C-alpha cells in the first residue's frame, strides 16, 4: 500500500476525530495529547498522522505534504478551498458561526442606523462575505484568538466567532445576534493523492464515510 499522511486539526476537533479514526480501524501508536512527536505512526504500517494548528491543515493538504486532512468548514471557507477535494462531511466538531455583541448593545438599531460597525474576528473572509451580502458596511479587525474580549474592551462593537455550548458568550456577558452558518469538520484530500495513491486513499475514504454515516445517524 502507498504511504499516506493524514493531517489532523489540534484542539476540540481532535477529540472527536480520534474515535472516528478508531472506528475506521486506525489507531495512533502514541497518545497524541501528550506526545511531542510531530509525525506519529499508526497501527497501519502505511499511514502516519500529523497534528497541526487547524488553519495549517488545508495548506499541508493543498501542497500534497499531507495527502488527507480533517478541517472545520470555518477554516476551509477562510482558506478558500483551492486545490482541495472535499468528499465528506464527518459530522464532528458541530458548532455555529455567529455574530455576537455585548449584552444590552442594540445591534438592530446600529444596523438600521447604517453607521460603520466595527467587527473583530479571525474569520475575515467569511465575515466580509456575510456582511456584504446584507449590504452592511463594517470595519473588520483581524484577531487570532479570544475574540470575546474585543467588545468588552471596546476594540469592536461585535465579533464573528464559533459558538458551541454558548458558555463562553454567557461567561463574558455577550449575546449572539446573528446566525451565519452551521459548521462541521470535513475530510479533505489532495486531488493528486486521490489519483496517484488511490489504492490507499479510496479504502480510507470508504471506511470513514461508513463510520461518519453511522455516527451522524446516531446523533
Ligand atoms: C472556540 C470559539 C469560542 C469558544 C466557543 O474557541 O472561538 O471562544 O470555542 O465555545 P462554547 O460556545 O462552547 O463556549 P476555542 O476554544 O476552540 O479556541 P480558539 O479561541 O483558539 O478558537
Domains of the chain: 4-93+184-218 (3.40.190.10), 95-181 (3.40.190.10)
Report in angstroms the alpha-carbon separations of 141 from 16, 42, 136, 154, 195.
31, 41, 15, 12, 40
> Where does residue 79 fall: left (phi above 0), alpha (psi -120 to 50 degrees), or beta otherwise?
alpha
Q: Is the CB of 159 under 6 A from ligand 1?
A: no
The pLDDT of residue 67 is 98
Q: Is the CB of 165 under 6 A from ligand 1?
A: yes
Q: pLDDT tens string for the chain (219 positions)?
A: 899 999 999 988 999 999 999 999 999 999 998 899 999 999 999 999 999 999 999 999 999 999 999 999 999 999 999 999 999 999 999 999 999 999 999 999 999 998 889 999 999 999 999 999 999 999 999 999 999 999 999 999 999 999 999 999 999 999 999 999 999 999 999 999 999 999 999 999 999 999 987 766 666
Closest C-alpha residue for ligand 1 atom 19? 145
The pLDDT of residue 216 is 66
Show the cell assigned to 90. Answer: 464527518
The pLDDT of residue 53 is 96
Ligand 1 atom closest to the Cα of residue 164 is 12
Indicate the pTM of the whole model.
0.94
Report in angstroms the alpha-carbon separations of 190 from 6, 9, 202.
11, 16, 12
Report in angstroms the alpha-carbon separations of 160 from 65, 89, 170, 218.
31, 23, 15, 30
The pLDDT of residue 215 is 67
Q: Is the CB of 67 under 6 A from ligand 1?
A: no
Amino acid at each position: 500500500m502507498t504511504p499516506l499522511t493524514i493531517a489532523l486539526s489540534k484542539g476540540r476537533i481532535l477529540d472527536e476525530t480520534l474515535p472516528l479514526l478508531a472506528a475506521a480501524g486506525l489507531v495512533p501508536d502514541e497518545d497524541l495529547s501528550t506526545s511531542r512527536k510531530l509525525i506519529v505512526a499508526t497501527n497501519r504500517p502505511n499511514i502516519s498522522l500529523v497534528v497541526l494548528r487547524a488553519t495549517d491543515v488545508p495548506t499541508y493538504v493543498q501542497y500534497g505534504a499531507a495527502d488527507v486532512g480533517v478541517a472545520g468548514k470555518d477554516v476551509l471557507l477562510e482558506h478558500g478551498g483551492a486545490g482541495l477535494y472535499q468528499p465528506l462531511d464527518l459530522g464532528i466538531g458541530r458548532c455555529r458561526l455567529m455574530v455576537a455583541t455585548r449584552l444590552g448593545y442594540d445591534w438592530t438599531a446600529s444596523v438600521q442606523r447604517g453607521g460603520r460597525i466595527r467587527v473583530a474576528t479571525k474569520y475575515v473572509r467569511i465575515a466580509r462575505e456575510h456582511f456584504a451580502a446584507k449590504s452592511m458596511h463594517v470595519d473588520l479587525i483581524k484577531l487570532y484568538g479570544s475574540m470575546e474580549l474585543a467588545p468588552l474592551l471596546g476594540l469592536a462593537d461585535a465579533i464573528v466567532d464559533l459558538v458551541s455550548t454558548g458558555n463562553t458568550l454567557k461567561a463574558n456577558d455577550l449575546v449572539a445576534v446573528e446566525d451565519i452558518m452551521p459548521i462541521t469538520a470535513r475530510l479533505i484530500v489532495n486531488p493528486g493523492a486521490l489519483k496517484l495513491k488511490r489504492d490507499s486513499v479510496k479504502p480510507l475514504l470508504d471506511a470513514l464515510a461508513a463510520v461518519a454515516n453511522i455516527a451522524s445517524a446516531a446523533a
